[in-house]
Chain A
Amino acid sequence: MSTDTTTPDATERTRALLTTAEPRRRRTDRIMTVLIWGAFVLAMVPLVSLLWTVLFNGAGRISIEFLTYSMRGIFGGDPSGGIYHAVAGTLIITGWATVISVPVGLLVAIYLVEYGRGPLARSVTFFVDVMTGIPSIVAGLFAVSLFTIFFGPGARFGLMGAVALSVLMIPVVVRSCEEMLKLVPNELREASYALGVPKWLTIVRVVLRTSVAGLTTGVLLAVARVIGETAPLLVAVGVTDSINFDAFDGRMMTLPVFIYRQYSQGLATCRDGQADCVADIALQNAWGAALTLIAIVMLLNVVGRLVNRWFAPKLR
C-alpha cells in the first residue's frame, strides 16, 4: 500500500486494514514472527549439522604438514603427505576463472541495466538465463572439446578448467550483479547527469560505488558456486599428486577433485603390525580437505567484507 497511497482505492484499503479488529492483526503479526524465527531455526539445523560434521571429522587431520606437503609418493594407509598441491590448484584455477568471469560478467550486467535495449539486450538476458542451466559436466566437456582442437587430444591443463568454470560462473555474476545494479535508484543517476558527469563516469563512480556491497556479495557467491565444482575439473584438468603452479601446462589437483578421489578410494589395506598405516586415512584426508576448502572461502568472505567496508558509501 505504501507504494500507491495516492490512489483513493489504496486509502480505502488502508483504512479498512487499520479498522479491522486489533487482536487479529496482532495475532497474525505474532504468528508470522514465530514462523520467521522458526524458518531460521529450521534452516540452521542442517547447516550446523553439516558444519559440525566437517569440523569434527576434518579438524583432526589439519596440521602444518597437511597444509604444506603434496601427496607425491604417498599411497595406501600412509598418514603423511598433504593437500598443498590441491590448495594451490584450487586457488590458481578459481583465480583464473574469476579473472575471466568478473570483468565479462560485470560489463554484461552494466550493459543490461544501463544500456540494454532492443533485440541484442533481450537475447543476452534470455541466454544468460539459459547459461545458468548448463550442467557442470557439460561445461567440462565443452572446454575439453574446445582446447583439444588446438592442443591435441591429450591436452589437460589448469586454464582449461578455468574456462569450464567461467562458463558456469559468468551467468551467476551477471544475474546477481544485474539485480544489484537495478536497485540503484534512478534519482542518483539523474543527479549525477545533472551535475554534468558523463554517463560512463556516472556508472563507474556512482552506480558501481553505490552497489559495491551487493556486487561483492554477487561475485563471492559466484566464486563459491564454482570453487566446489568437481565434475568439469575432473574431465578438463585431470588429477595429479604433485605440485604444479603453471596453469598453462600440465595437470593440476584441486580440492573438490581431491575430496572426491579420496572418498572414492575407500579403505586402505593395512597388514597386522604394519607401522604408519591408517586404514581410513583417505576419508580423513577428504574431510580435512573439505574443512580447508571451507576455510579458504571463509577467508575470501572476510576479505570481501573488508573491501566493502572501505569502499561502500554509508547509506543507511
Chain B
Amino acid sequence: MVGALALSLAACGQNPGADAAADGASASAGDLSGELSGGGASSQESAMEAWRAGFQGQYPDVTVNYDPVGSGGGRENFISGAFPFAGSDAALDDDELADAEAQCGEGGVIEYPAYISPVAVAFNLEGIDSLNMTPETIAGIFKGDITTWDDAAIADDNPDADLPSTDITVVHRSDDSGTTENFQEYLSTVVPDVWTYEPEGIWPVDGQESAQGTSGVVSAAQAGEGTITYADASQIADLGTVAVGVGEEFVEYSPEAAAAVIEGSPRVEGTSEHVFAYDLARDIEGTYPIVLVSYHLACATYEDAEQAELVKGFLGYVLSEEGQKAAADSAGSAPLPTALAEEFAGAVDAITAG
C-alpha cells in the first residue's frame, strides 16, 4: 500500500487565540459546559451528528460543532491548532505527524480509528438486486475494460441472473475523497495486476462520469440505467449491490463483516504510544474487505483546561458503548470491536490540561 492510506497519526491542536469556543463558561469536572468546535472528514458527518446529539443530551450546557470541511482540511486545521480535535479518512503521514507533535508536544498526538463503514459497490439494473463479482471483475469494470453487463466475466459468476446487454456506465467521485482512496487501496492490494494505478483520493481513470459527494454519485447512479458506483453502504438507497469475492466465497456487505477487518489487521509499528494506525488486511475469509476507516485526532494535553475536559469527555463518549451504538443506528457504521474501543478509550482518558 502506498501513500498515506492506512497509516495514521494524530495530531493535536490547541487553540491559542481562537475563541470561537469560549463563551465565558468555566469548566469543572463532572459538569461540562462551553463550546467545542472541530471538523474534518465529511464521511463521519452522520455519525458525528449522533455523537454530538448524544453528548449534548448528557451535558446541556455544551455545544459541540463539527465542520465537514474534508479530511485534508481537518488535518491541516488540527496541525495549525484551529481544531482541537479532527476527523480524517487517512492517518497522518510522517511529516504531518511531526508537525502535529510540534503543536501537541512530543509524543502527545492521539490517533485512532473511530468510524468504520462498509463501502458498497452499487449498480442500477432493472430487476437485479445483487450480483457476485470477483475483485478482478470489479477492477476490470471500473478500469473500463469490461464494458457491457452481459460480459462473460460477470455472467460466469452469476449463472442465474438475466443480464442485459446494456453498456456499463461507471460513476465515480469527482472530489478528492477517502472513500475513493479506500476503494482503490482495496483494488490495488487484492488485484495489483489489473488495478495498476497508485491509490489516492482522486479517481485515476479519465473520461468516466462523476459526481460530487456520496449523495451525488448515488443520485447520478439512480439517474441512468446500467450505472455502477461505489459509496458508503448506508447511503445507497434502492441500488443493487455487489457481493464481493473473498477467497472462494462471495460476501455481501454488512457492518459486522466490515468491523471484522480491523480486528484481523495489524497495527502500524514504530509510532508513539497513542497513535493507533492500521494496515488493513483485505483477504480474510468471511470479512467484507472494502471498508472505510476514519480516524479521530486529538492532543494528549491542552493548554486550556476547559478544552481538555471537553475533548476528553466528547471523545470518551464516542468510544463508549452508547456512542458506538448511536453511530451504528443512525449512520449504519460498524461498531468498534470492544477490546479495541477500550484500548483507545485508555488513550483518551489520559488527556490532561497543562
Chain A positions near chain B (C-beta within 8 angstroms): 72-77, 151-157, 234-235, 238-242, 249-251, 261, 263-269, 271
Of all chain A residues, the one with the shortest Cβ separation from B215 is A266
Q: Mark B124-142, 1 if CB is under 8 A from A, else 0.
A: 0000000000000000000
Q: Is the CB of B42 within 8 A of A155?
A: no
Provide the main secondary structure of the chain B interface.
helix
From B20, B50, B215, B329, A264 is in contact (CB under 8 Å) with B215
B77 and A265 form a contact (CB under 8 A): no
Of A152, A238, A250, A266, chain B has the most CB atoms within 10 Å of the CB of: A266
Write the chain B residue with the least CB distance to A76.
B330
Q: How far is the CB of A240 from chain B (nearest CB, A)?
A: 5
| Closest Cβ–Cβ distance, residue A270 to chain B (whole Å) | 9
Are B83 and A75 interface neighbours, CB within 8 A?
Answer: no
B218 within 8 A of A: yes
Is the pair A250, B218 in contact by a Cβ cutoff of 8 Å?
Answer: no
A268 to B49, CA, bound (A): 11
B189: CB under 8 A from chain A? no
* Cα–Cα, bound, A263→B65 (Å): 19
- Do A156 and B20 contact each other (CB < 8 Å), given the known contacts A239-B67, A265-B46? yes
Neighbouring B residues of A75 by C-beta, 8 Å: 46, 49-50, 52-53, 330
**B83 CB contacts on chain A under 8 angstroms:** 154
B209-245, CB < 8 A from A: 213-215, 218, 234-235, 237
A276 to chain B, nearest CB (A): 12
Q: Is B107 an interface residue (CB 8 A)?
A: no
* A153-B77 contact, Cβ under 8 Å, with A75-B49, A264-B213: yes
Rounded to whole angstroms, the CA-CA distance of A157 and B235 in the bound complex is: 32
> Contact between A240 and B65 (Cβ–Cβ < 8 Å)?
yes
> With the chains together, A250 CA to B243 CA distance in Å?
46
**Across-interface contacts of B35 in A (CB, < 8 A):** 250
**Which residue in chain B gives the minimum CB-CB distance to A263?**
B215
- The closest CB in chain B to the CB of A235 belongs to B69
Known contacts A75-B50, A76-B50; decide if A154 and B20 are in contact (CB<8 Å). Answer: yes
Q: How far is the CA of A242 from the CA of B55 in the complex (A)?
A: 14
